[in-house]
Chain A
Amino acid sequence: MKNQIDIKKIVCVYLPLTVILIFILFPFYWTLITSVKPEDELYGMVVTYWPRSFTLESYRKLFTTTVNFLGAIKNSFVVATMTTLVSLTASTLAAYAFSRYQFAGRKILMCTFLCNNMFPTVLLLIPLYSIMRKMGLLYTPTSLVLSYTTFTIPFSVWLLLGFLNDLPMSLEEAALVDGCNRGVAFVRIILPILGPCLVATGVYIFMTSWNEYTFAVMFTNAETRTIPVALKSLIGQLGVQWDLLTAGGIITIIPVCIMFFFAQKRLVEGLTAGAVKG
Chain B
Amino acid sequence: MIQRLLGKKTMAIAMAALMAAGTMTGCSAGGKGNTEAAETTKKETTEAVQATSVAKDGQAPTGEIKPCTIKFRYWADNTNYSQLMQDIIKKFNAENGKGITVVGEESPWDGGAYSENLFNAKMGGGDIDCATWKLTSTPLFVNNDLLADLTPFIYAWDKKTDIDENIYNIMTEAGDMERIYVMPWNIQVLYVYYRPSIFKQAGIEVPKTYEEFLGAIEKCTMDTNGDGKTDVYGFGMRGAKGGQEPWGSFVNGRGGSFKDLTTPEAEQGMQDFVDIYKKGYVPPTAISDGFSEIIANFQSGLTAMTIHHTGSSKDMEKVFGDDVSAFPFPTGKGQWTSMGDTETVIFNSCENKAAAFEWVSYLAAGEGQKMWCEGTGNVPVSKSIQASDFFQNNRFMKASIDGQGYAGIVPILDTTTEWISTLWPNTVSQALTGSITAKECMRILQDGLYQ
Contacts and interface: CB of A to CB of B under 8 A. Distances in A.
Interface of A: 61, 65-67, 108, 111-112, 115, 119, 123, 125-131, 133-134, 138, 217-218, 221-222, 229, 232-239, 241, 244
Interface string B114-130: 00010011011111000
B25 interface: yes
Contacts of B29: 127, 130, 134
Given A127-B22, A236-B76, A221 B83 contact: no
Nearest to B84: A66
Interface string B230-274: 000000000000000000000000000000000000000000000
Contact of A130 (B76, B78, B110, B124): B124
Contacts of A238: 77, 311
Nearest to A62: B79
Given A66-B79, A111-B11, A129-B26, 8 more contacts: A66-B83, A108-B11, A129-B126, A130-B26, A130-B124, A130-B125, A134-B29, A239-B78
B388 interface: no
Contacts of A218: 117, 120-121, 124
A131 B77 contact: no
B75 interface: yes
B11 A235 contact: no
Given A130-B124, A235-B110, A217 B117 contact: yes
Given A115-B19, A119-B19, A126 B79 contact: no
A195 B104 CA distance: 46
B15 A127 contact: no
Contacts of A235: 108-111
A123 B83 CA distance: 34
A15 to B, nearest CB: 37
B105 interface: yes
Contact of A127 (B11, B26, B105): B26
A126 B26 contact: yes
Contacts of A111: 11, 15
A66 B82 contact: yes
Contact of B108 (A115, A123, A134, A229): A229
A103 B111 CA distance: 49
Given A237-B77, A239-B78, A127 B25 contact: yes
20 contacts: A65-B82, A111-B15, A119-B19, A125-B120, A126-B27, A126-B120, A129-B26, A129-B126, A130-B124, A217-B110, A217-B117, A218-B124, A221-B105, A232-B108, A233-B106, A234-B79, A236-B76, A236-B78, A237-B75, A239-B77
Nearest to B300: A45
Nearest to B18: A112
B418 to A, nearest CB: 20
Given A65-B79, A66-B83, A237-B77, A222 B106 contact: yes
B107 A217 contact: yes
Contacts of A222: 104-106
In this complex, which of A133, A134, A138, A244 has the most chain B Cβ atoms within 10 angstroms of its Cβ? A133
Contact of B106 (A66, A115, A130, A244): A66
A217 B26 contact: no
Interface in B15-74: 15, 19, 22-23, 25-27, 29-30
Contacts of A127: 22-23, 25-27, 29, 124
Given A112-B15, A119-B19, A131-B26, A236 B109 contact: yes
Contacts of B105: 221-222
Nearest to A225: B106
Across the A-B interface, give the 10 residue pairs with the lowest CB-CB distance, nearest first.
A127-B26, A236-B77, A129-B124, A232-B108, A66-B82, A65-B79, A233-B108, A130-B124, A130-B29, A126-B124
Contacts of B311: 238
A241 B19 contact: no
A112 B19 CA distance: 10
Contacts of A125: 120, 124
B86 interface: yes
B26 A244 contact: no
Contacts of B126: 129, 133, 138
Interface in B184-209: none
Contact of B125 (A112, A133, A217, A221): A133
Contacts of B83: 65-66
A222 B108 CA distance: 11
Contacts of B76: 66, 233, 236
A236 B111 CA distance: 8
Contacts of A244: 79
Given A65-B79, A112-B15, A123 B125 contact: no
Contacts of B79: 61, 65-67, 234, 241, 244
Contacts of A232: 108, 110
A129 B77 contact: no
A222 B105 CA distance: 6
A130 B82 contact: no
A104 to B, nearest CB: 12
B376 to A, nearest CB: 10
Contacts of B19: 115, 119
A111 B9 CA distance: 13
A126 B30 contact: yes
B7 to A, nearest CB: 9
B101 to A, nearest CB: 15
A237 B120 contact: no
A226 B193 CA distance: 42
A255 to B, nearest CB: 22
A230 to B, nearest CB: 9
Given A130-B29, A237-B77, A123 B23 contact: yes
